[in-house]
Structures are given as C-alpha cells and as structure tokens.
C-alpha cells in the first residue's frame, strides 16, 4: 500500500465458527507500527460484504501513516482474520515508475532482487552494508566464472592492434606493454591481417592454431611481412599472442574475442541483453542462499534459474558453419594422406 494515501482497499475472506462463509456485520481494527489496535478511521471500520464471505474495507488516510500495518477483520459471531502489509511512500512509487528499463539495472538493485528471491529481503529494504558487499563479491565471482564459459558470451568484439616489428610474443592484457586491454580474453575466436596500404583495406584471414600446432612448428622464429597463423597462449594476467611468421611490417592485426563482464562496483549500472538480467538475478540468488541466514531456496527457484540460463545462453550455442567438398562427401579412392587435426599436418 501507499503510505498516507486514502481510498485504497483491503479485503479478507471471512468464515463463521462452523467454517461456512460468513454473512453478517464485520469491522476492521488497525495496528500500525506496533502502536496498538484502533478501530478503522472510515465509518468506524465498517466492512462491506462482497459475496461468499469476502469483505473489504475502504482504507482511510489515518490508517496508513505507518510502515507496517496489521488489519484485523472482526466479524460479529465469526472468526477473526488479520492481514499484514508493508507500505511504500509516494516518492518510492514515483522512483519505481521512472526507473531504468528492463535492459539496465543498478548493481545494488540486482543484489536486492536476488535477496528477495530467497526471502532474505523485501522490496525497498535497506540491506546491511556488510551483507551487500558480500553479495557484490559473489556477483563478481559469478561473472568471472561466466567469462570462462563460451556459452555465456552475448557479444564478440573486433579490435585492431599494431604489431611491433620483429617482436614475439605480443602480450595482451591489463599489464601489457604491447596491447593493453582491461582484461585479457580467455580465447581468440578469429583473426585477420589488414592490408591498409591499399584502398579499400583488404583483410586476409589468419588461421588460429592450438598449442600442438605451435609445439610442432619447426621454425618458430621465421619472419616475413605477411602473418598467416596465430597461436594464443592465455597466460595470466596477460595473454601471449604468437604471430607466425613474425611480422616485419606494421600491418594491423584484427582479433575477434568474446566480450567480458568487468569487475563491478555497487553503484554501477549493468546493461544486459534480453534474459540476462533474469539469469543473473536468479543464479545469484542460488549462490547467496547457502551463506544467508534463514534463506529459502525452493525447487521453483532452481527451475526458474535453470530455464533463464537456458534462454539467455541458448543463442550462443549455434552450430558452426561447415561444408563438404563439391556436392557432398567425397567418395572413391583416397587421393592423399590423412589430416592430423592435432598437429595441423597431413600424412
């Protein structure tokens, strides 16, 4: 209910002493913020019969000048019923109506929503600062885990870097002297060499290799102007980008990497794609429950969290583009040696 606002309605289902729907006269008594019961301010608390035992009461302004209110319905010759409510101020209502859209949420609001899901908080609560800081740490740890999972990525970035001539490897990360970024990526999804000396610029694909290919590369120190391959070592805190051959020109290197969640502060605003806010809130609620006193994690919450993650992450699990030679799979005799996927060589 809205604090101090007349004209609101509260109702209750009433029964007689035999358990049948009540039919008679009923009044409401109001206890606000533990101040003691008084008769309702409107019509001496007289209730209105709406049928089949349901009665309501037209709330007066004086009845709702409290934060917590107990409305006790007293039917003459029947069984009493108490309805408890919390109020919010008109200013809080206005703030809710003008809040940011579904695509964005402040970190402290997301934390409160997670506590509400496990019944450890209520709307408009002011949670203990120590509890909120602990929850913030849980949120950052959750996003840190998501950063390592390809299925959680909702965006990829295409960023160009200028290589240093005759230099190997190029570091990529927050402490890098080569290519500085806020966080080093967990993987490189694709790469291009950009020939920017022509108009328009031409992109030449660079093959991203694995550690086995790099291990079996006989001449790792070969140098030339055109980079054809790349091996990424995701060391910490800076990754190592090994370009092969080692570049002798400064043609830009374009890397395709996953967008990463950053380390959040309490007052930050999160801008999230569809379904990610629900997935983040419900997953965080699951993580908070074991360390929260009297928290309740239900089977429904687990199911909702699982479904939210499936919707949010499902768009990231599409099949890669593949194709066969000619119109279908080749047949007949083998024309050459087999291909060793681990080493990147034929035999």
- pLDDT confidence of residue 4: 84
The confidence band for 335, taking pLDDT boundaries of 50, 70 and 90, is low
pLDDT digit string (tens) for 86-119? 888 877 666 655 554 556 788 988 999 999 888 8
- pLDDT confidence of residue 98: 54
Last residue of a domain, one of 240, 258, 276: 258
- Residue 133 and residue 104 share a domain: yes
Q: Which domain holds residue 294?
A: 99-149+262-314
- Residue 239 and residue 220 share a domain: yes
- The verdict on residue 49 lying in a domain is yes
Percent of the chain beyond pLDDT 90? Answer: 50
Mean per-residue pLDDT for 268-282? 87
pLDDT at position 334 over 90: no
Distance between CA 210 and CA 200 in Å, rounded?
Answer: 31
- pLDDT confidence of residue 252: 94
- φ, ψ (nearest 5 deg) of residue 46: -65, 130
pLDDT digit string (tens) for 168-196? 999 999 889 999 988 888 899 999 999 99
- The verdict on residue 73 lying in a domain is yes
- Residue 246 and residue 181 share a domain: yes
pLDDT at position 336 over 80: no
- Residue 306 and residue 171 share a domain: no
Last residue of a domain, one of 258, 275, 300: 258
- The verdict on residue 330 lying in a domain is no
Distance between CA 325 and CA 110 in Å, rounded?
Answer: 51
- Residue 251 and residue 178 share a domain: yes
- The verdict on residue 328 lying in a domain is no
- pLDDT confidence of residue 318: 61
pLDDT at position 323 over 70: no
- pLDDT confidence of residue 261: 83
- The verdict on residue 343 lying in a domain is no
Distance between CA 84 and CA 32 in Å, rounded?
Answer: 10
- pLDDT confidence of residue 326: 58
- Residue 275 and residue 252 share a domain: no
**Cβ distance 344 to 209 under 8 Å?**
yes
Mean per-residue pLDDT for 309-322? 74
- The verdict on residue 115 lying in a domain is yes
- The verdict on residue 197 lying in a domain is yes
- Residue 234 and residue 286 share a domain: no
- The verdict on residue 200 lying in a domain is yes
Tally of domains within the chain: 3
- Residue 214 and residue 85 share a domain: no
Residue 1, token pair as written in the block = 């209910």
- Residue 172 and residue 205 share a domain: yes
Q: Higher pLDDT residue, 223 or 328? A: 223
**Cα 347 from chain centroid?**
47
- Residue 114 and residue 40 share a domain: no
- Residue 55 and residue 75 share a domain: yes
- pLDDT confidence of residue 24: 93
The confidence band for 141, taking pLDDT boundaries of 50, 70 and 90, is very high
pLDDT at position 74 over 80: yes
Average pLDDT in the chain: 86
């Amino acid at each position: 209910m809205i604090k101090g606002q007349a004209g609101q309605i509260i109702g209750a289902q009433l029964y007689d002493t035999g358990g049948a729907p009540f039919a008679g006269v009923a009044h409401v008594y109001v206890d606000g913020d533990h101040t003691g019961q008084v008769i309702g301010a409107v019509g001496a608390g007289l209730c209105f019969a709406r049928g089949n035992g349901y009665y309501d009461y037209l709330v007066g302004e004086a009845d709702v000048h409290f934060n917590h209110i107990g409305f006790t319905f007293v039917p003459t010759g029947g069984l009493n019923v108490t309805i408890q409510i919390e109020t919010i101020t008109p200013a809080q209502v206005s703030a809710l109506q003008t809040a940011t859209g579904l695509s964005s949420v402040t970190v402290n609001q997301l934390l409160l929503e997670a506590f509400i899901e496990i019944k450890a908080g209520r709307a408009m609560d002011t949670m203990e600062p120590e509890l909120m800081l602990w929850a913030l740490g849980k949120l950052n740890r959750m996003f840190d885990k998501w950063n390592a999972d390809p299925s959680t990525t909702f965006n990829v970035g295409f960023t160009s870097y200028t290589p240093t001539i005759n230099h190997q490897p190029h570091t990529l990360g927050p402490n890098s002297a080569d290519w500085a970024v806020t966080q080093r990526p967990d993987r490189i999804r694709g790469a291009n060499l950009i020939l920017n000396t022509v108009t328009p610029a031409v992109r030449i694909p660079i093959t991203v290799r694995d550690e086995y290919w790099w291990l079996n590369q006989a001449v790792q120190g070969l140098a030339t102007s055109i980079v054809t391959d790349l091996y990424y070592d995701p060391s910490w805190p800076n990754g190592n980008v090994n370009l092969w051959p080692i570049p002798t020109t400064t043609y830009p290197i374009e890397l395709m990497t996953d967008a990463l969640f950053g380390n959040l502060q309490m007052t930050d605003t999160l801008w999230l794609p569809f379904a990610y806010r629900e997935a983040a809130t419900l997953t965080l609620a699951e993580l908070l429950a074991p360390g929260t006193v009297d928290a309740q994690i239900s089977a429904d919450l687990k199911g909702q969290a699982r479904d939210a993650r499936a919707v949010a992450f499902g768009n990231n699990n599409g099949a890669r583009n593949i194709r066969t030679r000619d119109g279908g799979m080749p047949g007949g005799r083998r024309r050459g040696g087999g291909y060793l996927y681990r080493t990147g060589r034929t035999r």
